[in-house]
Chains A and B, each alone.
Chain A
Amino acid sequence: MIRRDLLKFGGGAAAGLAFTPIPWRLLGDTAMWSQNWSWMPRVPRGEVADKDARCTLCPAACAVKARCAGGVPIGLWPRESALCPAGFVAHHIAWHPIRLRTCLHRGQPAKNEDALRAASARLSGASGSVAVLDLVPGRTASLLHRHHLAKLGGTYLVPPVVEGATAAATQSLLAQPVALAAVLSDVKTVLSFSTPLLDGWAAPGRVARPNRQFRVIQAEARRSRTAGIADEWLAIRPGSETTLALAIAHCLLKQLSAPAASLDRFAEWTRAAEAMSPALAAQSTGIDPTRIEKLAAELRREPSLVLADGDPVGGPLGNELQSAAAALNVMLGLHGLKARPAIPVPKDWAGVDETPISNAADGSISLLIIDEPTPGQALPWSLIAPKLAHDALVVALTWNQPHFAAQADYLVPVPVFLEAQQDAPAPHDTPQAAFSLSPALLPAPDGVMHASDFVARLAGDEVAFADRLAERIKAIGADPKELEAGGQWIAPAAASTLAARRILPPGMTADRLLAAAQRPAEPLHVVAHGWRASATSPLLGKLWQESALRDAPRSASAHPATMRNLKVVVGRPAVLDTPSGRLPVNLSADENLQEGVLALSSGPAFTQICQSDSSGAWRVPGAKVVPA
């Protein structure tokens, strides 16, 4: 009977439960809980409002609307013109997982004061000198570095120019000392040698399809994003850019106008160009001789510009090619290049001159301060290392943890984009000398220090960067409020007409040009490239990780036949093995690549394995791909 009673009770209780609120409440709670997990991020509250601003992550300084919720930027949207994909999420850099937030001494937490003390101690030491390596020259902070270094008796070092290299090379041939910038709107054709013209080189608004009034001919070994959307892609063999440039010069010589022939060093140039007939060039470039002749005629017929700047991650293409491109620009009448006026500097800011890092004396630097304010151009450590004294102290003032973690004694965090007012360097794709400012919309975390303030403290200068920036704005004569609100101060246009004095810079000989043109390709020729903005936000992984719109960092591709020769398989882990180090890569097959070429998309990791060759180009000699 007891068993039966129990069963009855159990059955009755189960039936009765349905009439209590318990199961229904449970259902409701399940529904609520299944819709609101406690670990789900909550969206912020607050009024959404747009604030006009400028993005200063690259020289383009695009006009943006910073959409803010409760004062915090939630996105940047184009104003007036266009943005690159990184522009939309540039505000994410403050929260990027690789962002440096505290001072590190060889991986251990330290204080900025420790770094300052160590640097001061090194300054008061006897041997060597102090140098500041500015990875983004041309900013107000750069001027201040030079000013402070004058007091410290130090050297102001700059990395090799990549973007703007052709303009700089052409500028060295001119009669007058002006700064040149490209002006794409003035030309009908641009011949670009392996330069990401349509993919980061120029401001997006200036090269977007509807605004692009010029033809793009891309001479590149790889079907890069620019090559894929260019009007014509000349799939040259890797490293044969100089050959093609000389062959074009060869064709242009035949129908040369008189003034060019009167230039200094013209005979030297002629000697190099005449030696490179289109038929000869065809052998090493893989481009049909008649196409080369036609190309020369096309460039001649209409205003044209030749660009050989290179890739911001892959590095410059070498002095010979830059000189050849500059010479071609002179032969073609210097179309598409204009003088860019200088932006005023306060009178008492006199400073030391720029020194290209390659010109610094080996072993001369006992204190190196690296200023890396934004994600940007890569610089091989192999270019820096020889310049350091054997016990040199390296302080990297940087926004991120990994780039200099292995080499720097101290990593000092700096305020990132939108955490402090920053100005952008002058753009290389317009002769408009514009001064743009990004606003401080976010509070800078405790412990960040502006790079300029660090160097100023060493020089005994207590004026903060923000005040110095105000001084500069005053000297320029711009309205600070207008700049803060996304305005731009533009220098009055320079009215100079350009005239070339010589066709080759001093020291550039026909033999050097021909040697560069005939340099054999490596058995496995590594063509490196990267998108400098890739480190701006983790959300950008949408473009390469969750889709195939861009090449993922640390990915490499080769022709299927090359893969077979290397005995590597797509999808299996592989390592790029070089005399300078090993780099793990994800391999993919690309039918568009020529055999023997490895297209490497690597970001800053590339700088750990590449070497600067005698021409200044970054190469990876003796590379192999082996299964990991």
Chain B
Amino acid sequence: MTRTDKASPAAHYAMIIDLDRCEGCGDCVVACALENNVPPPNPKATPRTGLNWLRVFRLEAAGRDVFLPMPCMQCGEETPCQSVCPQKAVELDPATGIVGQIPERCLGCRYCMAACPYQARVFNWWDPQWPAGMEQTLNPNVSVRQRGTVEKCNFCHGRWHAAIEKAAAAGGRGPVAYTPACSEACPAQAITFGDLNNSEFAALTNKPESFRLLDSLGTGPKVFYKTASTAVRAAVTGAAKDTPHA
């Protein structure tokens, strides 16, 4: 899985999600599952036991439904899940800033899930199953995870890997540009993906309308949100109490 590419200087991948654009269509959720070989729901699965690497919460604010897509925040400072894993199945790749999960090494103790303040991690409560024949449509670039392991969003690591290989084949070095599935899928272009080492992209995250969830915990999340509406921001950051529906 995540390995440092010593040849390339580091990237610092991050995401900006525009809450004023998202309308909760679910494209990102489906595209994410498709890209990352996440199995269809087990007949008994619920939102609490489901395998969604990217969850979309629905809130009501400013007189409308506000949707909050939540991938893994790829915490860069004192990454809560990484430090607790007893057998190094979670790695923060210094070359990308991506928090990777190594399913082949995961014990399934779920300590990382308890540690994650965003509840971005999901557990394989069941054996993954596809309807007969549908395994032909799995993505060759992403391995299938077993029952009893934890998994989560890795900013479409398979795509990053493919991009790095393509760049290397063309003789390129250094960080590559690529797009995760959710960002490619979004019909409203609400998800912008980029490298914080790119000053133009970094500037977007520094705007006054940009913010991060649970910033005060000091875990350095690399998913930023933005909204021009103070009511929406208040609902999402907890400055005002709204009714959740997710």
Instruction: Using known A-B contacts A40-B128, A45-B140, A78-B184, determine if residue A549 contacts B24 with beta carbons closer than 8 Å.
Output: yes
The segment from A370-378, A478-486, A532-540 that touches chain B is A532-540
CB distance from A547 to the nearest CB of B (A): 5
Cβ-based interface call for A550 (8 A) = yes
Number of residue pairs A-B, CB distance < 8 angstroms? 178
Cα A205 to Cα B187 in complex, Å, equals 7
Q: Is the CB of B26 within 8 A of A43?
A: no
Q: Is the CB of A89 within 8 A of B30?
A: yes
Instruction: Using known A-B contacts A539-B40, A540-B30, A542-B33, determine if residue A40 contacts B46 with beta carbons closer than 8 Å.
Output: no
Q: Is the CB of A548 within 8 A of B40?
A: no
Cα A546 to Cα B133 in complex, Å, equals 23
Cβ-based interface call for A335 (8 A) = no
Cα A558 to Cα B45 in complex, Å, equals 23
Instruction: Using known A-B contacts A205-B187, A543-B26, determine if residue A228 contacts B65 with beta carbons closer than 8 Å.
Output: yes
Cβ-based interface call for B11 (8 A) = no
Cβ-based interface call for A25 (8 A) = no
Cβ-based interface call for A73 (8 A) = yes
Cα A46 to Cα B58 in complex, Å, equals 39
Cβ-based interface call for B139 (8 A) = yes
Q: Is the CB of A546 within 8 A of B47?
A: yes
Cβ-based interface call for A19 (8 A) = no
Cβ-based interface call for B83 (8 A) = no
Q: Is the CB of B246 within 8 A of A542?
A: no
Q: Is the CB of B188 within 8 A of A85?
A: no
Residue-by-residue, is B30-56 near A (CB-CB < 8 Å gives 1, otherwise 0)? 110111011011000111011110011
Complex partner residue of A96 from B45, B131, B245, CB under 8 angstroms = B131
Interface class of chain B by DSSP: loop
Closest residue of chain B to A227 (Cβ to Cβ) is B65
Complex partner residue of B135 from A37, A42, A228, A549, CB under 8 angstroms = A42
CB distance from A61 to the nearest CB of B (A): 16
Q: Is the CB of A546 within 8 A of B188?
A: no
CB distance from A80 to the nearest CB of B (A): 12
Please report the total number of A residues contacting B with Cβ < 8 Å.
59
Q: Is the CB of A69 within 8 A of B139?
A: yes
Cα A230 to Cα B62 in complex, Å, equals 12
Please report the total number of B residues contacting A with Cβ < 8 Å.
59
In the complex, chain A residues whose CB is within 8 Å of the CB of B85: none
In the complex, chain A residues whose CB is within 8 Å of the CB of B38: 539, 542
In the complex, chain B residues whose CB is within 8 Å of the CB of A546: 41, 45-47, 49-52
Cβ-based interface call for B29 (8 A) = yes
In the complex, chain A residues whose CB is within 8 Å of the CB of B131: 95-97, 538
Q: Which of A523-570 contact B (CB under 8 A)?
A: 537-543, 545-550
CB distance from A156 to the nearest CB of B (A): 35
Cα A535 to Cα B31 in complex, Å, equals 17
Q: Is the CB of B140 within 8 A of A550?
A: no
Which of A48, A84, A97, A545 has the most chain B CB within a 10 Å cutoff? A545
Q: Is the CB of B29 within 8 A of A198?
A: no
Residue-by-residue, is B157-169 near A (CB-CB < 8 Å gives 1, otherwise 0)? 0000010000000
Instruction: Using known A-B contacts A83-B187, A95-B131, A229-B64, determine if residue A538 contacts B140 with beta carbons closer than 8 Å.
Output: no
Q: Give the B-binding residues of A (Cβ under 8 A).
A: 35, 37, 39-46, 48, 69, 72-75, 77-78, 81-86, 88-89, 91-92, 94-97, 198-199, 204-205, 208-210, 223, 225, 228-230, 233, 537-543, 545-550, 591
Q: Give the A-binding residues of B (Cβ under 8 A).
A: 20-27, 29-31, 33-35, 37-38, 40-41, 45-47, 49-52, 55-56, 58, 64-65, 104, 127-128, 130-144, 146, 162, 184-185, 187-190, 243, 245-246
Known: A81-B187, A96-B131. 20 other contacts (CB 8 A): A37-B127, A44-B138, A74-B138, A75-B35, A84-B25, A85-B26, A95-B132, A210-B189, A538-B41, A540-B30, A541-B45, A542-B38, A542-B52, A546-B46, A547-B26, A547-B246, A548-B245, A549-B26, A549-B56, A549-B58
